[in-house]
Amino acid sequence: MTLHIHFVGIKGSGMCALAQVSAEIEGATITGSDIEERFFTDIILEKAQIQVLPFAASNVEQADLVVASPAYNDLHPEIARAKELKIPVLSYPQYLGRLMFKKRGIAVTGTHGKTTTTAMIGLILMEAGLDPTIVVGSNVPSLGGNAHSGQGEFFLAESCEYRRHFLNYSPEYLIITNIDFDHPDYFRDLQDVILAFQEMAGKVSAQGHIFMSADDPNCQAIQGPAAITTFGLSAAAGIRAADICCKDEVSTMKIYADGKYAGDLVLNVYGKHNIMNALAAMAFCREIGIPLPQIFSSLSHYTGTKRRFEHLGVRNGALIVDDYAHHPTEIRTTLEGARLSFPNRRIRAIFQPHTFSRTEKFLQDFSRAFQSADEVVVADIFASAREKDSQKISSLILAELIQKQGIQAIYIGTIEAIKSYMTQTLAPEDLVLTLGAGDIYKVGLDLVC
């Protein structure tokens, strides 16, 4: 009898990816439900021939298993009905852990860079003919979407630390890109974050392997029963890049493995952060036996993911770019890379803070993150469904603090007002960069239409 799995909130990027691979791994019939608003995942689900229904309690009545998005709790009518009928309900991370257990698990985690690193590893494995199963948190053109149902032995998944969700996984391989303080609505402080990653490292057996940054001091305390390989720019790294040259959005560098020169890498995505992501992917793929020249070739084919310095188009000579950066470290890194790649353009950053809790906790850090920008436009805070508006913090306060850092900054609350302002002031030498995890990308899309 075919298993029937119903996904509540199937349009979420992770849920959409799980639904696609479930049909193959579980041999299951898939149904899903969500709100009517269209997302990029609608096209992916249509291509996969997975029907999306409006929310209704009756949707789950014929299901054998219900997988629920973290966006919804037990009060959701479908989840409540499933529990009433005693149909098993698993959260997204619980179900991902179940699927990963069926193959050789590769978990890619870290505060920043996990989507890109997962996508890079996925591309290398695909081009090596290993046909992995892949679950990634964004649309990756080189992979044909945000998931791949492979026949091979590996299961590669982007693995989030929020609420310690990744502790639902017991991977054979663990890649830690970096460790930083984020999600202040859950983690107490940086030490709490480090502890979570330490717990995760402890879930990798002695027969497995851990890969982590040699350059990140927060990674240095991480230990586990498995062997550890490091990557980075420091001389101590097992996989190291040196003699880096960046021009436009192309980076070239020499790669050293265990202290020995291994060849040159050309990377067609910009910035030090993407070099680190590539080194992480390289360290893992070398460990499983893929030759370094083949890894270099695959990485040179990598062209990025949706909402990671994504070129949206050009308007009157101005380049319009979108990036998901929503943490001070990510913003600073993205803007520094933009300045390095486009030294002759006026960089105009449009930032939409994501959640009141993050904005309040990192307010001073945010104010200092825009030094590489010529102008900053601050939009209203994009609130999370899990929090209420804060009376202590506002985007206006942030704009004023950025100004005190010597950067031209202005508060313009709504997306429509920002579109109007940019249309009136756009110049051919501009690089307009929308930043944030909310819907600020709509500004860029409208500018290039």
For 80, counting Cβ atoms within 10 Å of its Cβ (0-12 exposed, 13-18 middle, 19+ buried), the class is middle
Instruction: Check: CB of residue 219 under 8 Å from CB of residue 176.
Output: yes
Instruction: Check: CB of residue 345 under 8 Å from CB of residue 430.
Output: yes
Residues forming beta bridges with residue 377, ordered by sequence position: 350, 410
SS3 32: strand
Active site (annotated) includes residue 115: yes
Q: Using CA atoms, how far apart are residues 165 and 63, in angstroms rounded to an integer?
A: 25
| Rg of the chain on CA atoms, in Å | 22
Q: In what order do the strands lie in the sheet with 239-247?
A: 145-148, 133-140, 154-158, 104-109, 173-176, 209-213, 227-232, 239-247, 250-257, 260-267
Instruction: Check: CB of residue 32 under 8 Å from CB of residue 4.
Output: no
Q: What is the DSSP letter of 51?
A: -
Catalytic residue among 41, 109, 111, 115: 115
Catalytic residue among 26, 78, 158, 161: 158
Active site (annotated) includes residue 114: yes
Report CA-CA distances (Å) from 99 to 181, 228, 305, 339, 383: 29, 25, 24, 42, 32
SS3 127: helix
Single out the residue of 412, 258, 277 nearest to residue 350, CA to CA.
412
Catalytic residue among 114, 306, 361, 419: 114
- Please report which residue ranges of 168-215 form alpha helices under DSSP H: 190-201
Q: Number of H helices and number of E strands within the chain?
A: 14, 21
Report CA-CA distances (Å) from 431 to 262, 313, 353: 36, 11, 20
Residues annotated as catalytic are: 114-115, 158
